[in-house]
Structure 1
């Protein structure tokens, strides 16, 4: 019953990066716009405006495919410093109502307003006030979902985009989920949706007919999640201090790289940038992962775990180059390289394990 007493809001900005660009540059308003990627077909789309989405352009889509769908698509470079600054201002609006905020990215977050700071009492009214403040103060729109747990609130925020507000109360959760198309469920991607449809699962009510055992047999560990998901069961609390599992950086090249020396130089640049990013988050970790995407879009990752904690670009580069030395790139063109660090230092956990592991 604990989750029934909660009042959870999921706020999701509408086409965030693209909307910021259209706000700041009037000539882009009403146009099919892609943030990220390039008109020569290189790179991938970070965010597409709603005008571009009408043509089927989506985030994480290659520029080449996006142009095929929308030949008049306009590309603009992302301005992450601007987006981060606006995200901070959005967060400040959230804090007017609650301190229980769990950011998922720059443009979305969960809020627990069970006990709101202003004593409003209604999660719907708080969501309305937040949307109005974002619009009036920042010139942007957001969609919000309101319910009794995180899972339902997230589905609700996506239900009536853009500029939507959807409330799914306790008495409506089961009926709502039963009629919901399977691809609308959080955690069900295109591949899983197609697999489900192959089993005759098209809506929530179809999914609900399968036992937990049957779902786990068909979908592995995800089956357990699906079993509880379709019943609206989610006891996860909103966690204000959400821990990043990894910090990384990657670069998609305008021209594919063929020479290994150029790839090694690029790893050096990436590791220097990663050091700054880690310093900003006060992170140090033990596992280095490199990512390589070739011109044919095949992709590999390689990882190695250190016996000590890493935080400098020089140390991370040493591991990255060691991993790279074992990758055969002969006669292969590379379009993307990335480096990330994970397995972070946890002071509280470290007290319980090997105190000699961390080297000073």
Structure 2
């Protein structure tokens, strides 16, 4: 067996890795609170003689301005650029909310920085590409920020995909990107082959010079180059690393920074809802979805929270902590409806959400009085497990809670 064959691993069967990256994050946050700057060349960073650009708008990028560029050079390239000082507590606050949105789709979220993260959505009811679009919509609806999503079987390709999904700066303004870019499973090497080697992690100026000397310019050429000769040119460890990536081999899993502290689901409506009855239908469906994800993750939670956003974007929450952790959609819906009763919804609700926090492993869940009330009848836990088995076999739409059946047209968050 050759060294090259040894470096390859079985190809993943599902492209379940997502890389989510905010577009010009610091600038986007600043423009939200200073909308008069929208459409102008803007940079966040230091303005002194030793200052550098931390983030640049796409209008500024059209002039060649980019992050890590000295501020003095940015001003030479774009004399009209607006420089703003950084507000990192605000960026951390917004980032925390965005990471919360990502964790509402899967507990397997690995933040890389305040504005990007990897997700593993294997086993989700929606396809990875659908989840990418849902994430983009929810981040935009809730935070007013655009993001790009790459979808692939491995981290390296997912991150490259998010880059290709982003807008392109032009003198006439940013050209909208595709938003979600998928590298299909089975086509990784064909996708990589014509791309320049500079798109591989770890290829900086020094490595690029070495590769140029041995006649390697594209990832395809790197993939086909004998591993032994590559290691002689740039070193054993680095050579193996680049060789693997060029062949789409990247076994690193998504490693959550911490265990998920909560799970939630939200719905944004195409038209405002004004009655507890209509909103109750939504709460049943959302509670069922959250409970299903809790059980899939082996979790249960004690604190139930309902989030309500009114037509004027005023947002409130109502919470209640139960005596024991639950993972039942019926119980969650009952608690959520009870919390909603205290809220005047007549002004019109554009978004409603259900969340569960204070999570613990479900095998530590204490049985409630209801579990013992009639030992001869199935418990809600038994019903939930039966529902899960049906959905696993026939799909997520095979069975729905009766209280969630509704024919209205609505948007999805």
With the shorter chain as reference, the TM-score category is: 0.5 to 0.7
Q: What is the Cα deviation at residue 195 of structure 1? A: 4.2
- Residues of 2 paired with 1:193 and 1:165: CA distance? 29
Q: How big is each residue's C-alpha offset from its partner over 1:159-181, in whole Å with a ceiling of 9 and x where there is no partner? A: 13135210011122111110112
2:101 corresponds, among 93, 96, 118, to 93
2:178 is equivalent to residue 178 of structure 1: no
2:132 is equivalent to residue 127 of structure 1: yes
Q: What is the Cα deviation at residue 190 of structure 1? A: 4.2
Which sections of structure 1, spanning at least 5 residues, go unmatched? 243-360
2:232 is equivalent to residue 217 of structure 1: yes
Q: Is the 8 A contact 1:35 1:46 kept in 2?
A: yes
Q: Which has the larger radius of gyration?
A: 2
Q: Is the 8 A contact 2:19 2:117 kept in 1?
A: yes
Distance change (3 Å), C-alpha of 1:192 and 1:99: same
2:203 is equivalent to residue 188 of structure 1: yes
Q: Is the 8 A contact 1:215 1:226 kept in 2?
A: no
1:29 is matched with which residue? 38
1:152 is matched with which residue? 157
- Residues of 2 paired with 1:158 and 1:180: CA distance? 13
Q: Is the 8 A contact 1:6 1:112 kept in 2?
A: no
Q: What is the Cα deviation at residue 226 of structure 1? A: 0.6
Which SS does the other structure have where 2:165 is aligned? coil
- Residues of 1 paired with 2:96 and 2:184: CA distance? 30
- Residues of 2 paired with 1:158 and 1:168: CA distance? 12
- Residues of 2 paired with 1:29 and 1:59: CA distance? 19
Q: How big is each residue's C-alpha offset from its partner over 1:114-171, in whole Å with a ceiling of 9 and x where there is no partner? A: 023xx22x00000110001011111110000001111111111111313521001112
The alignment yields a C-alpha RMSD, in angstroms, of 1.9
- Residues of 2 paired with 1:25 and 1:201: CA distance? 47
Q: Is the 8 A contact 2:15 2:151 kept in 1?
A: no
Q: How big is each residue's C-alpha offset from its partner over 1:236-288, in whole Å with a ceiling of 9 and x where there is no partner? A: 1100037xxxxxxxxxxxxxxxxxxxxxxxxxxxxxxxxxxxxxxxxxxxxxx
Q: How big is each residue's C-alpha offset from its partner over 1:8-51, in whole Å with a ceiling of 9 and x where there is no partner? A: 1000111110111122211211111110120x433111111111
**Aligned length, in residue pairs:** 239
Runs of 4+ in 1 over 4 A off after TM superposition: none
Distance change (3 Å), C-alpha of 1:114 and 1:15: same
- Residues of 2 paired with 1:93 and 1:182: CA distance? 34
Which sections of structure 2, spanning at least 5 residues, go unmatched? 1-9, 168-176, 259-413
